Amino acid sequence: MPLDPDDRAIIKFVEKMTLTPSLMTDADVQSLRDVGFSDENVLEICAIAALFNYVSRIADALGIELEEHYSDWSKFLGFDSGPTVRVENPLTGDPFVAAKA
């Protein structure tokens, strides 16, 4: 099933927030407003993404297996190959590991 524009905007925003948070700009927030999200909605999107990132990072650092519903959610999102992904730092070109939460 194809994603609607709202879902695509959220995924693009949250992916950037997760992988390269220091590169977020007002344009990223505006991209959510452009598909109809209010500032309150944007705050909720950020808070939910931040919570998942927080929980995943602590679990990864301590080697904790997340509860089954977190695992099922990760698999649903296509992250069944492990809890992290290698990405390249866009500022330096150096590789680093970022959580896939």
Expressed as residue numbers, the domain containing 79 is 5-99
* Closest residue by Cα to residue 5 from 32, 45, 25: 32
Average pLDDT over residues 16-26: 94
Torsion of Cα atoms, 8 then 13 then 19 then 25, to 10°: 150
pLDDT at 98 over 50: no
User: How does pLDDT run across 41-92, given as a tens digit for each residue?
Assistant: 999 999 999 988 888 888 888 887 766 656 665 666 555 544 444 445 455 5
Task: Give the C-alpha distances (Å, rounded to integers) separating 78 from 22, 23, 41.
Answer: 25, 24, 24
Q: Are 31 and 12 in contact (CB under 8 A)?
A: yes
The per-residue pLDDT for 16 is: 94
Which CATH number does the domain housing residue 44 bear?
1.20.1290.10
Q: How many distinct structural domains can be found in the chain?
A: 1
CA distance 59 to 62: 5
